[in-house]
């Protein structure tokens, strides 16, 4: 295997860090010096080397992008990194390179993601790429890779097919990643600035001595790794390196083996980040037209671009003879001449500056046939199964064709034959198995894809070395034709993105008008982003549904801020929030549009509002939604006049809100009193302990002496320093306080503090005696909330009716509008009578692209929305609420890395800028982009859906414990049973079609479990059950056996997004004999786990093989929780000990501590002989949170454990009462 003509290397190391969590690494500089010397040495690597040290995250992104983006097709590129690395365990698990300015708490934005580097590697033109990482947990880099490990392939010369000329020597291709340690392990630095790290030291030594070559003249990447791995393992360093490969098809030569060991003499200092020139213009802020152009080209790359057979010579031509571009049968310059049949076509593509693609085999599908506009004949359509980008290159004065990037499935084929999750998994895992020129292997591979992965029939078997000259449309069967085509991706004139692309083109032509819209909040230039329009405190909240403080904060912000971003974890009332926001907007005489790419999310909000008052929100969009539009408009025209006039309704809501605010002030005052009592009690106890006084002695002391007098006397002790010690002893003896052998002045100080604490205690106690009891606070709280909801409903009703009455003429005009002409004018006018509308994002053109047409747009499930899908919505509004959850299902993009890179190139926009601002089309959703622009997101932090045991697991795994679980399970079927169970099934997973998996043993276990659940009587006849699994064949197998029962729903995770069931059963399928990559795919999808777990209201059953999941984080957590493992309470041990003494002094019944009542963790449970139980919830107060909200939550938590009908009573125990004197 000969080396490529050119070798380039980029070395980056970071030795110093701003954040204290990242200690300095002095050996990094030595690592860079030695790597640069070895790689650049002509006797070893002969690399062109750029070596850099101490870079910020932006500098690292820019340098890596420039390096990989500047690669050529005749070179090997090597990227080396030395420094700190870590994985975002609580988020995606993705590996990150730490920069000098990295913050572990903001890793996504201050470090460099593995995914960013992976995308650049995939788009890099260099056929051979090597990444070497010397950092802790660097084995986790492969976690971020979007491609799978290479399939086993034969080595050596490509086989020549019968009758062909001898095949050229195969040029090795692909990516190697060599990491210094495994994903969860540390790597070790050198002992000082003069010694390299352990891994790099061994690696450089292997290059300089030639030992890795094992007698050969050249050293491959695999040779080098095996030598380093062997050395490190034998040295007992505790460090295990890792190698992974993507698309590697042969030995990749990295260096020449020296004839004798080489001493590196020439040491070059790396360039510091502080010495680098400013970033080039491309990585700076682009203009709006560039951003929109980038998204347009991304959409077109993955568009539903079926080709018309009639458009031969216009959008495609059929290649003759042998297929060469996908199989890789290129000439020695890695290109081929333009075939005679393609010359005119290529000239046309060149003139139009369009993308050129090769595709094979052509797939014609009958159910895709479409009639033309006149409807007088059928136009057959097709799409190639696999496609490969083709570039026009110049060689020896002629234009030639050169393939770029690997073959990928055509987006139209993916969308037609796979679900979204299947397509995403396939795109991430598929790798061709053939070598250049291996026609037989290619034909076999394609046949397997057609039969097993896509389930497409074949009119012709694939024979890439003997192509058919044209596409057969006379045969009526669906399926593949043995035809290869050269085509240009057509303009997307149909399909789901048609209207979106029209909108983007229009917005690009109206860039100056963006400034007056919500879209300006995402402006590339931060200086042009708008500020708030109004005072948050002046917003009149109208909440006919329950609304807590975090939801209120989101509503207030959305009513005045140009952009508000909110995170809505499962079960936190997201749809309820949106409905209340719609009501608030309507009552404040504003127009509002609710939208999402998720139809179910739009319908859920619309139906909630319909439940309040039919016609509150008008559903519109596609043809199916048009029927609902007519119904909604008709409902509005039939509304009677308001029962309450507007002024009365406004006065009522203002009065109700004022009363609730007053009660919140009362709650805050009580919480403050209790916090002061606790503080003074703890101070009194601490100073009493220093004076050797117990609680009884302190009580006696201040019964005998006024604490204010004690303060005066204690202060007087130090007035005359010479006799201060004598006076201190005299005062202590007078008060009966034990006098220590020394430090009497310190004792008098403690006495002073003790008396001061007693004064504070008595003052707070007097205030506490005058406050209402807990049950009275709850009664007033419930009444105030009910009054707000009632007044809000009245105001909403009045506002909707008044608007409908005022806009009756416009509503009638829209209802009577002719369907064969644009309704933009009548619909705009109808906003006077119908203030709230709901639409899917891709139907935004149901409304005219008028800047700021709506006062507010709400984009729901924004984590599933692509960025370009929401731009037209933001353009049509003045303000926006972006709400979603990045820890649930995300936006799925089918564009490959090459397509993304091509779009960046065409739009002249930088990958660094896109990554820095979370605006990459394939990597980021609308939620990511908005949250980055907003600075953060507001969290809905009260959870109401899942049984507490289930919710607590999800809270720990996916939300860092930030959620407050407020689920009421008292009236739920099975709610008081075991909530989380693991059913261990030692089965065998089998490969299914479409590259997926099923497990017959788990299928039987699931069916048996369903029977047991219903037969046990534990559940009611109306209980709903959901069965979820990562793999569609598993879902189909279970569905066949239980699908006749309406109470049971079976599907993959995407089936359940946004839904809930009383009982969820999660079939994991995986067994130890499955390929590690398939298991890792499940394990590294926290979003899928989160959705599956949090659909369960009362019970979650995990059916899986414990041998697989015992060593994996999420599986470990679930198994531990199912085994009865519980979390430790956050209360201090001192308070718990006092609670124990406090209860022991008051009762002689059995007491259990740290138990659960109705699923909720409870500090103590007193079990009486008559069968009644008394639960105690310890309230230690809140220093950082809103005191009113804290007490409201504690009162509600107490109620969640209180059910007198079952003989269970609950009481809140303010922590200060544990310090109260016996007489208190």
Q: Are 1090 and 1171 in a shared domain?
A: no
- Mean of pLDDT values over 1090-1100: 95
E strands, 526-580, in order: 563-567
Q: Are 443 and 415 in a shared domain?
A: yes
DSSP for residue 866: B
Q: Are 954 and 1071 in a shared domain?
A: yes
Given 917, 939, 961, the domain boundary residue is 939
Q: What is the pLDDT of residues 521-560, one digit of tens each?
A: 999 887 778 877 778 888 999 999 999 999 999 999 999 9
Strand, helix or coil for residue 991: strand
Instruction: Please report the pLDDT score of residue 169 as a whole number.
Output: 27
Q: The domain spanning residue 114 has which CATH number?
A: 3.40.50.1460
Instruction: Please report the pLDDT score of residue 577 as a whole number.
Output: 97
Q: Are 966 and 846 in a shared domain?
A: no
Given a cut of 90, is residue 1054 above it in pLDDT?
A: no
Asked if the structure places residue 848 within a domain, the reply is yes
Q: Are 1025 and 1150 in a shared domain?
A: no
Contacts of residues 819-827 at CB distance under 8 Å and 24 or more positions apart, as own/partner, are 824/848
Neighbour count for residue 23 (Cβ, 10 Å): 11
Q: Are 235 and 256 in a shared domain?
A: yes
Instruction: Please report the pLDDT score of residue 378 as a whole number.
Output: 56
Given 1096, 1122, 1148, the domain boundary residue is 1122
> Sheet containing 1096-1104: which strands, arranged edge to edge?
980-984, 1096-1104, 1061-1067, 1025-1028, 1048-1051
DSSP for residue 159: P
Q: pLDDT grade, residue 160 (50/70/90)? A: very low
Place of tokens 């209120």: 552
Q: Are 29 and 137 in a shared domain?
A: yes
- Mean of pLDDT values over 302-330: 88
Q: The domain spanning residue 1088 has which CATH number?
A: 3.40.50.300
Are 177 and 133 in contact by the 8 Å Cβ rule? The answer is yes
- Mean of pLDDT values over 82-99: 83
- Mean of pLDDT values over 455-480: 90
Given a cut of 90, is residue 669 above it in pLDDT?
A: yes
Q: Are 61 and 203 in a shared domain?
A: yes
Provide, rounded to the nearest whole percent, the portion of the chain with pLDDT above 70. Answer: 91
Q: What is the pLDDT of residues 223-268, one digit of tens each?
A: 999 999 998 888 877 788 888 887 676 788 899 988 888 888 767 8
| Alpha-carbon torsion, ordered 894, 896, 901, 907, to 10 deg | -20
Q: Are 329 and 456 in a shared domain?
A: yes
Asked if the structure places residue 693 within a domain, the reply is no
pTM of the model: 0.85
Q: pLDDT grade, residue 1125 (50/70/90)? A: low
Candidates 1030, 967, 972; CA nearest to 1002 is: 1030
Candidates 1142, 1145, 1126; CA nearest to 1134 is: 1142
Asked if the structure places residue 379 within a domain, the reply is yes
Q: pLDDT grade, residue 162 (50/70/90)? A: very low
Q: Are 239 and 313 in a shared domain?
A: no
Are 843 and 620 in contact by the 8 Å Cβ rule? The answer is yes
Q: How far apart are CA 272 and CA 284, in angstroms?
A: 21
Asked if the structure places residue 846 within a domain, the reply is yes
Asked if the structure places residue 412 within a domain, the reply is yes
Please spell the DSSP secondary structure of 705-753, one letter per residue. Answer: S-HHHHHHHHHHTTSSGGGHHHHHHHHHHHHTPPPPSS-HHHHHHHHHH
Q: How many domains does the chain have?
A: 5
Given a cut of 50, is residue 371 above it in pLDDT?
A: no
Least confident of 692-701, 852-861, 1078-1087: 1078-1087
Are 578 and 1218 in contact by the 8 Å Cβ rule? The answer is no
Least confident of 217-221, 394-398, 985-989: 394-398
Q: How far apart are CA 310 and CA 288, in angstroms?
A: 37
Are 1026 and 1064 in contact by the 8 Å Cβ rule? The answer is yes
Given a cut of 60, is residue 929 above it in pLDDT?
A: yes
Asked if the structure places residue 744 within a domain, the reply is no
Q: How far apart are CA 558 and CA 1050, in angstroms?
A: 37
Given 1084, 1101, 1122, the domain boundary residue is 1122
Least confident of 49-53, 818-822, 992-996, 1161-1165: 992-996
Instruction: Please report the pLDDT score of residue 283 as a whole number.
Output: 58
The CA R_g of the chain, rounded to the nearest whole Å, is 35
Instruction: Please report the pLDDT score of residue 1045 as a whole number.
Output: 87
- Mean of pLDDT values over 165-189: 63
Q: Is 555 left (phi over 0), alpha (psi -120 to 50) or beta?
A: alpha
Domain that holds residue 1175: 1133-1219
Peptide bond into 604 cis (omega under 30): no
SS (H, E, C) 305-367: CCEEHHHECCCEEECCCCCCCCCCCCCCCCCEECCHHHHHHHHHHHHHCCCEEEEEEEEECHH
Q: How far apart are CA 506 and CA 1127, in angstroms?
A: 55
Q: Are 193 and 338 in a shared domain?
A: no
Q: What mean pLDDT, rounded, does the chain reach? A: 87
- Mean of pLDDT values over 708-729: 86
Asked if the structure places residue 658 within a domain, the reply is no
Asked if the structure places residue 881 within a domain, the reply is yes
- Mean of pLDDT values over 795-814: 96
Candidates 1019, 1017, 1015, 1008; CA nearest to 1027 is: 1008
Q: Are 1093 and 1137 in a shared domain?
A: no
Instruction: Please report the pLDDT score of residue 303 as a whole number.
Output: 63
Highest mean pLDDT among 301-310, 485-494, 753-762: 753-762
């Amino acid at each position: 295997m000969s080396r490529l003509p050119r070798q380039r290397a980029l070395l980056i190391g970071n030795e110093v860090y701003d954040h204290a969590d990242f200690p300095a690494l002095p050996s990094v500089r030595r690592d860079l010096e030695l790597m640069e010397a070895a790689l650049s040495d002509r006797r070893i690597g002969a690399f062109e080397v750029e070596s850099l040290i101490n870079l910020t995250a932006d500098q690292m992104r820019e340098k890596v992008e420039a390096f990989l983006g500047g690669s050529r097709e005749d070179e090997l590129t090597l990227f080396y990194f030395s420094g700190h690395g870590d994985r975002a365990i609580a988020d995606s698990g993705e590996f990150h390179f730490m920069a000098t300015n990295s913050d572990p708490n903001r890793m996504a934005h201050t470090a460099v993601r593995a995914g960013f580097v992976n995308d650049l590697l995939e788009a890099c033109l260099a056929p051979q790429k090597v990444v070497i990482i010397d950092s802790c947990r660097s084995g986790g880099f492969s976690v971020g890779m979007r491609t799978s490990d290479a399939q086993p392939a034969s080595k050596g010369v490509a086989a020549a097919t019968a009758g062909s000329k001898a095949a050229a020597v195969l040029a090795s291709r692909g990516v190697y990643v060599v990491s210094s340690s495994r994903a969860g392990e540390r790597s070790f630095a050198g002992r000082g600035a003069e010694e390299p790290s352990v891994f790099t030291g061994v690696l450089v030594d292997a290059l300089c001595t030639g030992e890795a070559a094992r007698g050969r003249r050249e050293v491959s990447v695999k040779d080098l790794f095996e030598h380093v791995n062997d050395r490190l393992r034998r040295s007992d360093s505790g460090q295990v390196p890792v190698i992974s490969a993507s698309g590697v098809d042969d030995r990749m030569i990295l260096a020449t083996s020296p004839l004798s060991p080489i001493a590196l003499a020439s040491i070059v200092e790396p360039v510091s980040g502080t010495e680098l020139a400013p970033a080039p213009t491309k990585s700076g802020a682009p203009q709006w037209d560039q951003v929109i152009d980038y998204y347009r080209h991304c959409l077109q790359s993955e568009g539903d671009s079926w080709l018309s057979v009639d458009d031969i010579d216009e959008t495609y031509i059929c290649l003759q003879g042998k297929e060469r571009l996908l199989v890789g049968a290129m000439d020695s310059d890695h290109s081929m001449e333009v075939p005679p049949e393609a010359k005119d076509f290529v000239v046309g593509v060149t003139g139009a500056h369009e993308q050129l693609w090769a595709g094979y085999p052509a797939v014609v599908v009958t159910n895709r046939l479409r009639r033309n506009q006149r409807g007088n004949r059928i136009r057959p359509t097709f799409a190639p199964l696999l496609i490969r980008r083709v570039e026009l290159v110049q060689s020896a004065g002629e234009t030639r064709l050169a393939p770029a990037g690997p073959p990928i499935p055509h987006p139209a084929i993916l969308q037609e034959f796979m679900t979204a999750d299947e397509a995403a998994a396939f795109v991430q895992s598929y790798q061709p198995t053939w070598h250049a020129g291996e026609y037989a292997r290619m034909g076999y591979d394609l046949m397997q894809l057609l039969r097993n992965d896509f389930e497409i029939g074949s009119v012709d078997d694939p024979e890439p070395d003997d192509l058919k000259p044209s596409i057969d449309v006379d045969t009526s069967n669906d399926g593949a034709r043995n035809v290869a085509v050269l085509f240009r991706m057509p303009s997307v004139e149909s399909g789901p993105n048609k209207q979106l692309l029209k909108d983007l083109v229009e917005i690009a032509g109206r860039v100056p008008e963006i400034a007056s819209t919500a879209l300006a909040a995402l402006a590339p230039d931060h200086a042009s982003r708008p500020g708030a329009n109004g005072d948050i405190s002046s917003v009149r909240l109208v909440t006919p549904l329950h609304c807590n403080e975090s939801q209120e904060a989101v509503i207030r912000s959305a009513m005045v801020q140009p952009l508000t971003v909110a995170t809505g974890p499962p079960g936190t009332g997201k749809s309820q929030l949106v409905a209340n926001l719609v009501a608030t907007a309507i009552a404040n005489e504003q127009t509002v549009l609710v939208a999402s790419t998720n139809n179910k999310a739009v319908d859920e909000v619309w139906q909630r509002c319909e439940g309040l008052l039919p016609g509150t929100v008008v559903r519109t969009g596609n043809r199916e939604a048009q029927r609902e539009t007519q119904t909604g408009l008709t409902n509005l025209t039939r509304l009677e006049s308001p029962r309450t006039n507007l002024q009365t309704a406004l006065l009522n809501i203002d009065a109700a809100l004022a009363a609730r605010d007053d009660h919140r002030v009362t709650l805050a005052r009580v919480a403050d009193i209790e916090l002061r009592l606790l503080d003074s009690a703890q101070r009194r106890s601490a100073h009493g302990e220093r004076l050797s006084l117990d609680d009884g002695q302190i009580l006696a002391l201040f019964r005998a002496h006024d604490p204010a007098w004690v303060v005066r006397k204690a202060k007087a002790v130090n007035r005359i320093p010479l006799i201060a010690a004598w006076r201190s002893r005299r005062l202590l003896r007078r008060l009966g306080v034990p006098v220590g052998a020394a430090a009497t002045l310190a004792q008098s100080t403690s006495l002073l503090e003790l008396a001061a604490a007693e004064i504070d205690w008595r003052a707070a106690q007097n205030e506490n005696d005058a406050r209402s009891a807990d049950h009275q606070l709850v009664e007033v709280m419930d009444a105030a909330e009910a009054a707000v909801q009632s007044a809000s409903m009245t105001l909403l009703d009045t506002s909707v009716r008044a608007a409908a009455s005022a806009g009756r003429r416009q509503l009638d005009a829209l209802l009577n509008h002719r369907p064969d002409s644009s309704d933009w004018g009548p619909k705009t006018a109808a906003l006077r009578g119908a203030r709230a509308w709901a639409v899917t994002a891709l139907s935004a053109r149901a409304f005219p692209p008028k800047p700021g047409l709506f006062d507010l747009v709400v984009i729901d499930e924004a984590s599933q929305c692509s960025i370009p899908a929401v731009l037209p919505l933001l353009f049509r509004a003045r303000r926006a609420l972006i709400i979603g959850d990045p820890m649930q299902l995300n936006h799925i993009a089918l564009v490959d890395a090459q397509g993304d890179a091509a779009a960046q190139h065409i739009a002249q926009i930088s990958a660094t800028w896109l990554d820095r601002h979370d605006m990459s089309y394939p990597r980021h959703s609308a939620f990511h982009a908005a949250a980055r622009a907003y600075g953060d997101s507001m969290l809905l932090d009260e959870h109401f859906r899942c049984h507490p045991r289930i919710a607590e697991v999800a809270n720990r795994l996916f939300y860092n414990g930030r959620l407050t679980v407020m689920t009421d399970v008292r009236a739920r079927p099975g709610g008081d049973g075991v909530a989380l169970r693991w059913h261990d099934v030692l089965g065998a997973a089998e490969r299914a079609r479409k590259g997926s998996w099923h497990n017959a043993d788990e299928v039987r276990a699931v069916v048996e479990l369903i029977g047991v659940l219903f037969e046990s009587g534990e559940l009611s006849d109306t209980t709903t059950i959901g069965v979820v699994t990562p793999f569609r064949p598993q879902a189909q197998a279970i569905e066949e056996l239980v699908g006749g029962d309406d109470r049971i729903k079976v599907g993959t995770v995407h089936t359940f997004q946004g839904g809930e069931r009383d009982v969820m059963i999660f079939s994991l399928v995986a067994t130890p004999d499955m390929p590690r990559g398939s298991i890792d795919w499940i394990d590294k999808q926290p979003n899928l786990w989160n959705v599956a777990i949090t659909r369960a209201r009362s019970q979650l059953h995990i059916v899986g093989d414990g041998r697989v999941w015992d060593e994996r984080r999420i599986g470990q957590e679930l198994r531990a929780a199912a085994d009865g493992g519980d979390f430790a309470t956050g209360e201090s041990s001192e308070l718990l000990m006092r609670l124990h003494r406090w209860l022991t002094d008051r009762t002689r019944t059995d007491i259990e501590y740290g138990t659960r009542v109705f699923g909720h963790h409870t500090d103590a449970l007193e079990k009486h002989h008559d069968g009644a139980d008394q639960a105690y919830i310890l309230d230690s107060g809140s220093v950082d949170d809103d005191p009113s909200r804290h007490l409201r939550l504690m009162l509600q938590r107490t109620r969640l454990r209180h059910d007198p009908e079952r003989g269970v009573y609950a009481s809140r125990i303010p922590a200060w009462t544990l310090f109260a004197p016996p007489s208190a």
